[in-house]
Structure 1
């Protein structure tokens, strides 16, 4: 837990052990952690030097045990410095280091885009080979902080479905807004119903269309990846990574157009289904959110109750309001009552 703030595993073990005691000696902590007494004493000295611990005063030591009376000098006892005081500078430094890293990456990206030796590379980058395509796919998904837009067509080629599911799960855990448009042939894949069920339950919004012109993933509207015909790359999987440009804007517009025309998928105990065209009804997941909101739950509390991210709750609420034609949650509740949604 504290390794992110610069403490190694053994340092964290001693720190955590001391956290549970008002004061302790090196010997007591060594017995508790299983470390050697000499190593524990060295760690305590290091923690003291870094301001994370301090030698306890006479008042903090308390009365000595009767067995220790007359036994000569007592071993030093240590106490923690209040974490709110001691760890705050480490946290600030970590934040500053992350900011410096983000600034450096931004500078490198801009430098790469402006390099005269790579005029085309500033917009489009060709990636050839299964390993390279998979690597860039995971970079796009795991680097997304706000939004992922995906076209799914046919069976996976370069990225196994289980690997894609792992990247998807990590993105959802970060609260990324995840929208997917799938072609009907994608649902013909082996075990795909189970995977789609799991994705929808986890918070992915999925819609279905009869066909799509290409596979695609767009990350934060900053970069996208689309596959190339394998015949053009000697039979190897290959793809184009498209950076911020008019071409990327066109790909995003293509996604939004298909998204608006697609039919939402929803899950029931009988499987995964596409909503019929015409008057659309809320999905079971949306109705769960609606019930909590009408019961007075906040978005954050509803998300916690349902085990969803707050972004997923907000997305489902937004779609409920769109279905109801409501401008406020009060209007949404009135429409839900009239429409018999609950």
Structure 2
């Protein structure tokens, strides 16, 4: 927590240990943190120089007098300076540094686009090699603040599936809208299904199509990355990074078109499945039969109550079993409860 304000791990350990007690000596803190006494003393002196801790008064430390401390009869005790006083300047420094970094980022981005405008029109950047492609892919995911749009096609080449988990989690934690359209063949691997199920559970919106024209990731509708044919780069993985342009607009439009036509997916105890279409859901009439069946009423009595023939009741039960993909009425009842049919 305090490392974000410029304190190292050992300094944070001493600071938080001192936070839990009114005063303490270097030896006390060394014993509590596992650091040696000399290191604890060095850190305390450094924190004192930065105004984060102070030497405790005689009353606070219980010392007989300051001369005793200087003579080594009683080790010096330290106390924290109130965090609201001591840490506030560090927080301001960090905020100023972040503001300066954001300004520098904007200037460098504009300078790059200005320079690139004389070479490739400032639109397309070619990236070649496994490390470079993976690096730019993670930059796009980690830099997203609002939205990530992804096409998943075929087996990963430059960026292994397990290497994307951290970037995905970070984006979801930031509240990024994460939408994915997957080629149905992408889910053929058991390991991929397991990872995709975890991603959907975490908040990724997933839809499925029979085929996609390309693999792609779009970050905040400002940058996109599309792989190139490895035959064009000497057999090495390569990609193009597309910046704001008509080409990027076309890629976003392509995503939205595929997204609108794709089939939504949902997670279940057995994996990731397509959301059933309307004609694959039970009708109200079929659910009436199901309710009576689960109540223990026989087919003949159910037919009588609903004003149907017994063959109609049996036909509706058979269709319910087909929809559920089960072979017995007991399994049908179990599936109906899980699927929320009643």
TM-score by length of 1: 0.74
Q: Structure 1 pair 230/200, CA: closer, same or farther in 2 (3 Å)?
A: same
Change beyond 3 A, Cα 1:46–1:195: closer
Question: Could you give the per-residue CA deviations for residues 301-335 of structure 1, whole angstroms, max 9, x where no partner exists?
Answer: xxxxxxxxxxxxxxxxxxxxxxxxxxxxxxxxxxx
For 2:321, the equivalent position in structure 1 comes to: none
Aligned partner of 1:51 in structure 2 is 51
The root-mean-square deviation of aligned C-alpha atoms, in Å, is 2.7
CA distance in 1, matches of 2:194, 2:72: 71
How far has the Cα of 1:12 moved from its partner? 1.9
Q: Does 1:94 align with 2:74?
A: no
Q: State the partner residue of 1:231.
A: 231
Structure-2-length-normalised TM-score:
0.74
Where 1:224 maps in the other structure, the secondary structure is strand
Change (3 A) 1:190 1:121: farther
Distance across 1 between alignment mates of 2:163 and 2:116:
36
Judged with a 3 Å threshold, the aligned counterparts in structure 2 of structure 1 residues 276 and 31 are, in CA distance, closer, same or farther, namely: closer
Task: Work out the CA distance in 2 between the residues paired with 1:220 and 1:279.
Answer: 36
Q: In the superposition, relative to structure 1, how do residues 48 and 105 fare at CA in structure 2: closer, same or farther (>3 Å)?
A: same
- Alignment partners' CA distance in 2, 1:238 and 1:179: 24
Q: Post-superposition shift, 1:234?
A: 2.6
**1:155–1:189 contact (8 Å) kept in structure 2:** no
Give the paired residue count: 281
Q: How does 1:127-276 map to 2 (within 5 A)?
A: 127-276=127-276
Q: Aligned residue for 2:323?
A: none
What is the match of residue 18 of structure 1? 18
Provide Cα deviations, 1:50-88, integer angstroms capped at 9, x if missing partner. 111112223323476xxx9xx986443211011122111
CA distance in 1, matches of 2:72, 2:197: 70
The CA deviation at 1:137 is: 1.2
Show CA shifts across 1:10-35 (max 9, x none): 22222122112101223322333343
Q: How far did 1:232 drift? A: 2.3
Give the number of the structure whose alpha-carbon radius of gyration is greater.
Answer: 2
Q: Conserved in 1, the CA contact under 8 Å of 2:180 and 2:204? A: yes
Q: Which runs of 5+ in 2 are unaligned?
A: 282-339
Contact 2:116–2:122 (CA under 8 A) maintained in structure 1: no
Does the C-alpha gap of structure 1 residues 122 and 262 become closer, same or farther in structure 2, counting only changes over 3 Å? same
Select between 241-250 and 8-17 the one with higher mean Cα deviation.
8-17
